[in-house]
Amino acid sequence: MKRRILVLMGGVSREREVSLVSGAAAAEALRSAGHDVRTHDLSRDVGALVQEIEAHRPDVVFNSLHGRFGEDGCVQGLLELMGIPYTHSGVRASAIAMDKPATKRAVEQAGIRTPRGRVVRRDDFALGDPLPRPFIVKPVAEGSTIGVRVVAEGDNRDWSADWSYGDEALVEEYIPGRELTVGIMGERALAVTEIRFEGAAFDYTAKYTSGHASHLLPAPVPPEVYDAAMDAALVAHRALGCDGISRSDFRYDDRRPGAEGLFFLELNTQPGFTPLSLVPEQASHLGIGFAPLCEWLVGRARCHA
């Protein structure tokens, strides 16, 4: 069925450039499938988006935005008010997933292990280390590992210097070992990928700079760890009430027995979306091409309210 589709992309978050790439890839794939596709680079001029929707009244909005204001429930709320079906998760799941401490609480209540940690207010930054070193510092509401800092033993740098991510930070124990990620498509865990990269954390540079990371699919981990990661990703997807696709990231300390070294880190409701991105790569591994994956998301588009 041919549909009028509006692809939202760009936006005003720190992940703008990544979103432009994701949106362009989705738009090209959907056009190749025969759909009538328009694109809109979201700005703070909300009226421009409203005018675009009212003028062309799309059947579906394909949300390719990443980060704040596009992945955190804000745009989803506007689309709910306008009665326009959209891809990916609804307002509630999007808002919770963008809030790392809220996500941490939700998945822990569902029985998923996360690193020991707590929220630290900016006023407390000067009181010394909030946890024994090594620990990791994260913005409470940013995507793509933006702003993540690893504080190691003997590191004399001020870990709180130049903090520009709000009045709070999430501080967690640093889990040594390997980075794993699992994509969810509907009610199905796709696969486990191991990501190998330079440095102590899979940060923004490692994610989006060519040559800084490699993907091992399927991840070369013991079967019980592979299965535990698949199960935990699906539990997290359900616990937050996600829809469409999501991607859960894990740290695996392979010095611990069995799956005891597997720790959930975060969940992305709108992960990177090009043919080479992690979730489409896992889908392709299972025989699902990029264009069919985009069409599958369009077919699931809905209002959630």
Active-site residues: which are they? 15, 144, 208, 247, 249, 266, 268, 272
DSSP code of 86?
B
* Contact assessment for residue 112 and residue 264, using Cβ atoms and an 8 Å cutoff: yes
* Gap between the Cα atoms of 53 and 75, Å rounded: 13
Q: Which residues pair with 118 in a beta bridge?
A: 171
* Gap between the Cα atoms of 143 and 147, Å rounded: 9
Contacts 24+ apart (CB under 8 A), 49-56: 49/8, 49/78, 50/78, 50/82, 52/6, 53/6, 53/82, 53/84, 56/4, 56/6
Q: Residue 88 — left, alpha, or beta (φ > 0 → left; ψ -120 to 50 → alpha)?
A: left
